[in-house]
Chains A and B, each alone.
Chain A
Amino acid sequence: MATNILINGEAHVSTREPMTPLLDVLREELFLTGAKSVCREGICGACIVHLDGQPVVSCLVPVGTLEGREVRTVESLAAEGEPSPLQQVMEEHDVVQCGMCFPGILMTLTSFFRERPDAGRDEVKAALVGNICRCTGYERIVDAAIALAKRS
């Protein structure tokens, strides 16, 4: 029951049960602990990764469905250790608090800005409704994201 998956550009063979959530494969087999296991029912968004370029909640994706597909996690955003522009702008604006939600938020916004690089405030807020943050009250994350959008 081996499943071949491309994870952050590297081939990986998972031998887990087909119904095992992708999230557990990432965290337990590859120790890619960026994606967080918070609600495990697709509501909080802390486990969002990109599957063939699209954001998905990895807690609800069975590994058995991933044969030949490509997964990218938050760990892949920084090419050669250099933070992505989105990661940089979040750091510059000092918006991180406990940090648990950021892996998911970064994956949501990275794919969102690919589609809407010059998005406005309301659009960014709407894009974030699938990501729960309990610390920041969102607005300063949105401010940082808008600052990036204005640069583009």
Chain B
Amino acid sequence: MAIADPANVTMDLPRRDARDKLLGRTRYTVDQSLPRMLHAAVLRSEVASARIVRIDTSRATKMPGVRAIALAEDAPGMHGIGIADHPLFAYDVIRFHGEQIAAVAADTYEQAQAAVRAIEVELEPLDPVLTMAEALAPDARLVHPDWKSYEILFEGGARGGNVAWEATVVRGDTEKAFAREDVIVVESCFRVGRQNHVSLEPRAAVASYEDGRYHIETSTQAPWTVRNQTAKLLGVPPSQVRVTVPPVGGGFGQKFDCTLEPYAAILARKSGRPVRLVYSRQEEMLTCLCRENAEIKIRSAVTRDGEIVGREAVVLMDCGAYGGEQIFLTTMTAHTLMGNYRLGSVKLASRAIYTNTAPNGAFRACNGVYNTFALKRHTDEICEAVGMDPLEFRRRNVLGDGDLGATGQVFEGEVLGPMLDRMASLRDKSPSLEHRAGNRLYGRATVVGTWFIFVGPSTATINLNADGTATLVTAGVEIGQGTMVQAMPQIVAHELGLHPDDVIVRTADTDAAGLDLGVGGGRTTVSVGAASRAAAEEVRNKILKAASELLQVAPEKLVLRNRRVEIAGVEGSGMTIASVVQHAQRATGPVVGSGSFTNPGVASMPGCAAGHFIDALEIPVFSVHDCEVAVDPDTGHVEVLSYKVVQDVGRALNPRAIYGQIQGGVTQGLGYALHEELTIGENGCIRQSSLETYRVPLALDTVPVQIDLYEGAPSIGPLGTKGAGEVPILNVAAAVACAVANATGRRVQQTPLTPPRVLGLLLGREPAIELPHIADDWWENVLMKRPSIPVRRS
């Protein structure tokens, strides 16, 4: 059958949701309102660690307007990723400042808050474990004394005490590599803080209980996760939960997990009325599932020629009080910190550590952002030690066609090398802005990064309508990234010879669409796109078959274009798609097609990775960033002078939309690199409780990013696409930190590079990061046992 020409799928399609968003008419979850709707508030712990002695709701129950109170007994289940360690409400022990103890629904939000304050809680305080160093101390109190009894949801990770999960990679013999006489050994330590997503729409849900089922309208990236996790927590079958998703006002990973939906669901069932729960900005600041703080020790054995013969690393990721996303993210370190470059031998321990702090979660290019920073700074320290130009070192060592990744995956195609060339020509085209530094210190860096597309299951159904339009039903969500209003209609229209405007995209509803992993990991265009394309193919074949009979022309000679079934090469011939559909509806039944997709599986080297959720990258994504900075020697202020990105996008369906993602992702990365700082006080509470103290980038903090989209790298995505929205943030902290190190000649070991920290570096007052709780002997850091050395018999 004739295949539509993929050359014409690229277009700068305007967003169909922009008009209403600009008119102020779009109704996000926070704007939803139902008759008789109640308002909910949550009682949260004001200590980080305690035993719960008594909870008394008798006074609260009698407060004006109160309709329902939810407590631990209403949610018997535990949830989590890998390990079911997380109850909905604290029921015996408080594990973090801000932990949920009870939830109240009342006629007004103020009444619900008043009732929350009237709940009496008697606590017996315990000493909190607030840092990973404390958590790993030999006599540390356990955040989860019962960790052994938890249900294991995914096998393979080593666990023990405050180590929630440990993933390791052992490939080749690093001991031998480090013992070689021709190598220089370089060791580096890094520490990074947390980052809050600050989605302008907070987490929000409106739940109802109708006909024995829960209906949750929510601001989420992952409706199927909310459905399944809510059911697990409430102890009901998943089929009793329906999740629908209006337009989402920003996610960035924060809404990739189920969080507040079950509270609203319980209160709706108990009160028999719709319940609205919207987290306040303060709740969002204090209990957001932040990008985790992390500590990294990495050392490499490198020859004088710049060959990396051995690399060992330990990465500690603070998961907070519950494992959550960090347990999965231990997987990613093999591909981020240990990615990008050819390595002769590898030892890596990636560990999620429990502390009595607010749980962390997923945030755009999770794990990759700080590991890319650490790797690039480490690489520059290597270059200094062996006396090699950093760009030359990158060129020599980046993974190319047929090279082995850390877990033994074989990489396809030369991508990073040519992308470095493209960055060189982008640099040549626009003159350096060094003159703008004036009397300040000038620095520049070019860095590479590797990320991936988190594929996994998606489904799609397409109904072709009698007017020639198509209705696409998926569980994909529009969170602002544009995929559901641009790439999806483009892919379907392309397959069916329609205009994207002819494709109606159904908003996510778990009762209407099948399983989907959610919007995250750059997966929507690839996974939902592949499922949609498969559904469109089925529809296309049905149309061609029906038209072939009507026109008495072999289907191979027919094409779908301009909303018509035409005889190939004869423009205007044949008939409209609408008339074929109308005929089919009478003759054989309405035209419908379905498609599904999941990860095809990419091989790693057997036996070298343990505790990994995925052993290899299904679709690697590469990016090269270049940054010029000026550092004020008197204040430590860093100004970004210029920023350039060469990004591997596979194929750009909508270049203008990708530019928007890159400009936005880089700006978010600049905030992380320079001024978004979260710290935890002695009481275990995050100190930055509002946007006044947590500094996100404003209009004057960013620069126009110069962008070159690199197309043509191998991808299994539909039409050769890769996700483009997640990766723009990946290299930013790395690029800025390397440029600041270049400008100042100082060892940059930490982000964010706030003025006081940079000034401290310049004055030699910034204490070096040493991480004594990570042992020098790699084997002392891991739960897995050192293999016994075979005794040679004489």
Contact = CB atoms under 8 A, between A and B. Distances in A.
Interface in A10-68: 27, 31-41, 43-44, 46
A103 B23 CA distance: 8
Contact of B23 (A37, A74, A101, A143): A74
A2 interface: no
Nearest to A32: B24
Contact of A100 (B201, B663, B665): B201
B692 A43 contact: yes
A32 B31 CA distance: 9
B87 interface: no
Most buried by A among B199, B656, B663: B663
Interface string A114-131: 000000000001101101
Interface string A63-101: 000000000011101100001000100111011111111
A142 B480 contact: no
Given A134-B198, A138-B699, A98 B250 contact: yes
Contact of B690 (A39, A83, A101): A39
A83 B664 contact: no
A29 to B, nearest CB: 11
B99 to A, nearest CB: 23
B657 A75 contact: no
B663 A140 contact: yes
A9 interface: no
A74 B24 contact: yes
Nearest to A84: B22
Contacts of A75: 23-25
Contact of B27 (A33, A95, A132, A133): A33
B506 interface: no
A106 interface: yes
Given A74-B23, A87-B22, A100-B250, A126 B700 contact: yes
B703 A94 contact: no
B696 A132 contact: yes
Interface residues of B, number: 56
Contacts of A129: 698-700
Contact of A41 (B33, B201, B692): B692
B481 A139 contact: no
A94 B25 contact: no
A96 B21 CA distance: 8
B22 A97 contact: no
B200 A46 contact: yes
A138 B250 contact: no
A31 to B, nearest CB: 7
Interface in B644-699: 656-657, 659-660, 663-668, 690-692, 696-699
Contacts of A94: 12, 14-15, 18, 656-657, 660
B628 to A, nearest CB: 16
Chain A interface secondary structure, helix, strand, loop or mixed?
loop
B248 interface: yes
Most buried by A among B14, B24, B705: B24
Contacts of A36: 30, 200-201, 249
B461 to A, nearest CB: 26
Contact of B667 (A78, A83, A138, A143): A138
B357 to A, nearest CB: 23
Contacts of A31: 33
A57 to B, nearest CB: 12
Contact of A99 (B247, B281, B700): B247
A91 B656 CA distance: 13
A137 B667 contact: yes
Contacts of B201: 36, 38, 98, 100
Contacts of A103: 24
B699 A96 contact: no
A139 B704 CA distance: 6
Contacts of A99: 17-18, 21-22, 26, 247, 249, 480
B19 interface: yes
A140 B33 CA distance: 33
Contacts of B228: none
B663 A34 contact: no
A97 B25 contact: no
Nearest to B13: A94
A55 B362 CA distance: 36
B656 A137 contact: no
Nearest to A41: B690
B24 A73 contact: yes
A132 B21 contact: no
A143 B656 CA distance: 13
A83 B23 contact: yes
Nearest to A131: B699
B41 interface: no
A96 B664 contact: no
B663 A139 contact: yes
B693 to A, nearest CB: 10
Nearest to A81: B23
B480 A83 contact: no
Given A34-B25, A39-B690, A99-B26, A125 B700 contact: yes
Most buried by A among B21, B482, B699: B699
Interface string B141-173: 000000000000000000000000000000000
B454 interface: no
B479 interface: yes
A40 B481 contact: no
Nearest to A132: B696
A132 B200 contact: yes
B702 A138 contact: yes
Interface string B521-553: 000000000000000000000000000000000
B411 interface: no
Nearest to B21: A99
A83 B19 CA distance: 8
Interface of A: 27, 31-41, 43-44, 46, 73-75, 77-78, 83, 87, 90-92, 94-103, 106, 125-126, 128-129, 131-140, 142-143
5 contacts: A94-B15, A94-B18, A125-B699, A125-B700, A138-B698
List the 5 closest pairs (A to B, CB-CB), nearest first: A34-B24, A98-B480, A99-B21, A137-B667, A74-B24
Interface of B: 12, 14-15, 17-19, 21-28, 30-31, 33, 197-202, 247-250, 252, 280-281, 479-482, 656-657, 659-660, 663-668, 690-692, 696-700, 702-705
